[in-house]
Chains A and B, each alone.
Chain A
Amino acid sequence: MPVAAVLEIDQVSKRYGDVLACDRLTFGVRGGELFGFVGGNGAGKTTTMRIMLGVVAADAGEVRWNGVALDHSARRRFGYLPEERGLYPRMKVLDQLVYLAELHGFGVNEAHRNAENWIARLGLREHRDDEVQKLSLGNQQRVQLAAALVHEPDVLVLDEPFSGLDPIAVDVLAVILRERADTGVPVVFSSHQLELVERLCDRIGIIRDGRMVACGTVEELRAGSGTTLVVHAPAAAPGWADGVEGVSVVERQNGRTRLRLADGADDQPVLAAALATGPVHEFSRHRPSLTELFRDVVGGDS
C-alpha cells in the first residue's frame, strides 16, 4: 500500500455565520484504504465532504488529489453519496443510473451495463423499472449508493453510507467498499456506527468542532490511551477507586465500573481497592474500543 496520501485535505476552513464548521482541517487519505470519518453531530464531517466534492467552497485551504488542487474535471472522477439523499423522485431506477453514468461521460451501452451491474449487486433487480419515490427508504438508499458507484469512480466520498441499511445490506456494502479500495481507490466514509468503523477501516479520523483531533489506525489512536479495566464489585460505593494512582473512572453501571488505567500504571492496586469494598466477580483488562477513544477525545457527550 502506498504510504503517501493521494487525497489531501490541507488547512481547510469554512465558516457559517458564527459557526466555524472547518477550522484549518488537515488530513490525508491513501490510495486503497478505507478511511473512517467520525465525529459528533455538527462536528463538520458533512461540510468537509461537501468541500471535497466542490459542492461548497472553502473559505481557505485546499483539497489536492495526486498532489494537484482539485478542479471540476478531477471531481467528476469522484463518487459521492451526499448526506441529504437525492434522486429524481419520478424517474425509474435504471433510467436514473444510466443518466448519471452518461453525465459522467459514459457511452449509452457502457452506462447501461454499469447500471445493470450495480442494480444486481445491490439487490435492486426487481425494482429496476420502478420510480424511485415508490421504493422503501432502504431501497432508495441502495439506489443512491448505486448512483455513487455507477461511473467507476477513482475516489469514493460517502456520507453515512450505512445508515438505514439492513444487516445484510451492511455486509454487502462493506464487501463492495473493500473491493473498491483493493483496486487502489481511496474510500472516505463517515459513520456513527463506531463498531463498524473500527472493524472495517484501515485508518480513522476523529473530528471535533471542525478540527481533526485524532487520526490514524485504531492502534495508533490507542497509543497513550492506556488500558480499560472492567471491575464488577457490587458492594463498591461511588468513588471507591478515587485514591488509586493512574486510574480514572469512565463509567459506573449496575455495580460494574469501567476504569482507564494510564500507560505503565499497575493494575493490582485497583484490584486491591476493589476487594476492599467486598466481593469482586469480574476484573478484566481490555484495549479501549473506538467508542471509548471517541468519548475520550470528543468529551463523552456524544
Chain B
Amino acid sequence: MTGRDISASRTVWLVARRELNTRLRTKSFLIGTAVSLAVLIGFVLMQSTLFAGESTSRVGLSGQATSIAGRLAAEAESARFSVRTSTVDDLAAGEAMVADGELDVLVSGAPSALRVLVRENLDEDLRKALNTLVQEQVLRAQLAAVEDLDPDQVLATVADATIDVRALGPTDPNHDQRLAVALVIVAMLYMALLLYGTMVAQGVVEEKSSRVVEILLATVRPWQLLLGKVLGLGLVGLTQFAVIGTVGLVLATATDVLTITGAATGTLVWGLVWYLLGYLFYATVFASAGSLVSRQEETQAVLLPVTMVLVLAFVLGFGLLSRAPSGTATTVLSLLPPFAPILMPGRIALDAVAGWQIALAMALTLASVAGLAWLGGRIYAGAALRTGARLKLRDALRP
C-alpha cells in the first residue's frame, strides 16, 4: 500500500486527454469537420450572389431636400426597389453617418440641384430615381416661365439637370471579398462556439446523468474536472477550427475565389484568437448551465438563454457587418464580451476597427472570463453532485 500523490496539473491533463481521445477518435468528429468544410466552400462560392441586391437603401434628407421624401418613396415603389428615408438636421452629422455606414446616401440641396453623398458608389436604381426627381423639378420651373418656351431649349435644360454625386472614399475593389471573409469568419465562430459550448454542457450532464461524477469527485476536485473538460474540448475545437479555416483558405485561394490571401490569413489568425477568448467565455457559462440538470433531455432547455445570446450575436453580426461595420451600434456591441468574439473578428476582417477598440474588447472579454470562471466553478462545484430535479441557480451557489 503506497500513498500516491498526483499534481493538479497532471490531473487536469488526464481529464483533458480523455476528452481529446474520446472526441478525436469518433467518426462524428471527422464527418462534422468534412460537412463544415463543404458548407463553408458552398458559402464562399455563393457569397457574391447572396449579398448583392437585396437591400433597403437608407437615405438621409437634409435641408430643402427633405421635401422630396414623398416623391422619392413613390418613385421607389414604381421602380420596385426599397428605400427608407430619414431627416438629417445637421449636414456634418449626416456626413459622419454616411462615413460610419449608418446611412447609405445623404441627399441635400435644392430639389432642382440635389447633392448626393455616398461612401463608395450610388445604387443605380436610386440614381435614376433621384435624377427623375431633379428633372421633374427643373421642367416644372421651365413650364412656370411660359413666355418664351422653346421646346428644344427646355429638353436640353432638363436633360442636363442631374444630381451631383460625391463619394467619400474611393471604391474598394476588394470590399466584396473582405465582406465575404468577414461573414465566413463570423459564421465559423458562431458555429464553433455553439458546438463546443454545447459539447461542454453535454459532457457535464453526461457525467451527472451516468453518476460517474460521484466516483470522479471522490478522487479529483471539481475545478480540476471542469478545467480538464473545458481545456480538452477547447483543444478539439481549436484543431477543427484551424483545419477548416486553413483548408477553406487554401481552396478559396487556389480557385481564385479569394485574391486577398494576406488579409484573409490575418483574419483566420484573429479568428483563432477570438475563438479561444469566446470559447473560454462561453464554455464556463455552458458548463454551469449544464451542471444544473441531471438528464440529457433537459439540457437544451437550460442552455436556451445562452444559445439565444450566441444566435443574437450571429444575426446582428451578419446585419451590422454588411451595412455599418464601423457604426456606433456595431462599435458598442463589438466591445461587449458576449458579442465581441463574433463581431470583433468580423470588423477586423473588414478593416473597420481601431486598434484600441480591439485591445479594449480583448481586455473586457478576458476580465469577464476570469469572473465567469470563478462563478462557474462555484456553481459547478455546488451542483455537480446534486442529481434529481433541475436546480435553481441560487441553490447551486448555496454551500
Contact = CB atoms under 8 A, between A and B. Distances in A.
A103 B210 contact: no
A90 B28 CA distance: 14
B215 A104 contact: no
Nearest to B219: A103
Contact of B210 (A73, A76, A86, A106): A86
A88 B6 contact: no
B3 A77 contact: yes
B18 interface: yes
A202 B379 CA distance: 42
A86 B213 contact: yes
A78 interface: yes
Most chain-B Cβ atoms within 10 A of its Cβ — which of A72, A86, A106?
Answer: A86
A223 interface: no
Nearest to A185: B1
Given A90-B22, A99-B14, A103-B219, A84 B214 contact: yes
B332 interface: no
Interface in A121-155: 147-148, 151-152, 154
A164 interface: no
A53 B221 CA distance: 12
A13 to B, nearest CB: 16
Contacts of B385: 55-56
A154 B218 contact: no
Interface residues of A, number: 37
Given A99-B14, A104-B4, A152-B1, A88 B212 contact: yes
Scoring B15, B18, B217 by chain A CB atoms within 10 A of each residue's CB, the highest score goes to: B18
B36 interface: no
Contacts of B221: 72
Given A53-B218, A84-B211, A85-B211, A103 B14 contact: yes
B18 A183 contact: no
Nearest to B228: A103
A75 B3 CA distance: 11
Interface in A60-98: 72-73, 75-78, 80, 82, 84-91
A88 B210 contact: yes
Contacts of B1: 152, 154, 183-185
B22 A86 contact: no
A80 B4 contact: no
Categorize the interface residue count of chain B.
20 to 34
Contacts of B2: 152
Nearest to A53: B218
Given A91-B22, A99-B18, A104 B210 contact: no
Interface string B209-242: 0111111111111000000000000000000000
B212 A87 contact: yes
B4 A55 contact: no
A86 B218 contact: no
Contacts of B213: 86
Interface string B355-399: 000000000000000000000000000000101000000000001
Name, among B1, B210, B217, the residue most crowded by chain A CB atoms within 10 Å (CB to CB).
Answer: B210
B121 interface: no
Given A56-B385, A99-B18, A103-B220, A86 B5 contact: no
Contacts of B211: 82, 84-86
Contacts of B11: 103
A255 interface: no
A140 to B, nearest CB: 11
Interface string A165-178: 00000000000000
Given A76-B218, A86-B212, A102-B14, 10 more contacts: A53-B218, A56-B385, A82-B215, A86-B213, A86-B215, A88-B206, A99-B14, A99-B18, A105-B5, A148-B215
21 contacts: A53-B218, A55-B214, A55-B217, A73-B3, A76-B6, A76-B219, A80-B215, A82-B215, A86-B211, A86-B214, A87-B210, A87-B212, A88-B207, A89-B210, A90-B22, A99-B14, A100-B219, A103-B220, A105-B4, A105-B5, A184-B1
